[in-house]
Amino acid sequence: MSAKPHLISHALCPYVQRAVIVLTEKQVPFERTDIDLRAKPDWFLDLSPMGRVPVLWVGGTTLFESQVIADYLDEVTPGSLYPGDPLEKARHRAWIAFASETLNAIGAFYSAPDASAFDARRDALAAQFNRVEPEIAGPYFAGSAYHLVDGVWGTVFRYLDVFDTIADFGLLADAPVARLWRDWIRDRPSDRKAASPDYAERLTAFLKSRNSHIATLV
């Protein structure tokens, strides 16, 4: 990559973390600017047609949408975080999409307004992990090799690290392989670098500020 990429991000955004993971795994130097999504600067809105992070500015070109960015970065750097077989590569992309749906389920979980809705959404979120469970070869998703699908699921598990400090919600109670997978991903240097050092404190403060059931538990 000839131009140094510049990533526009938000400190808590899991989708930004996908790009950071690729850049870290590929040992690509990059710049990162965090913005406040509650007060988006005009220059950011000029760059992002959807008004969302991440945005990647590289070589005078702006890219938006997290998986587009992650895939571009993977394609233009040596090696690949996808398997070589086209069918298996497509399968990985499908389970990356499922991870995005799981992030939506996480948002529904922490936004639940009362205990009844919270319990229902907890069950729905646990079902997401139960569904991916039989797909995991172990220790990583496809065996001993690390791929982008592992990094993306690491952004999912990062929420669980904070949830576990609040209470044992049993989200992985019926997913023992996923529990081990989570541990392997957590030990990856790129996973640790993907989020800011104060991520847990920031997320805890965010949850506490919500007008939702989980705020009463924090």
Q: Indicate which residues carry an active-site annotation.
A: 13
CA distance 108 to 122: 9
3-class DSSP state for residue 64?
A: strand
> Residue 42 class from Cβ within 10 Å (0-12 exposed, 13-18 middle, 19+ buried)?
exposed
DSSP-derived secondary structure letter, 157: H
Q: What are phi and psi of 147, to 5 degrees?
A: -135, 175
**Cα distances (Å, whole numbers) of residue 123 to 112, 179, 194:** 12, 17, 28
Q: Does the CA dihedral 174-180-181-183 come out positive or negative? A: positive
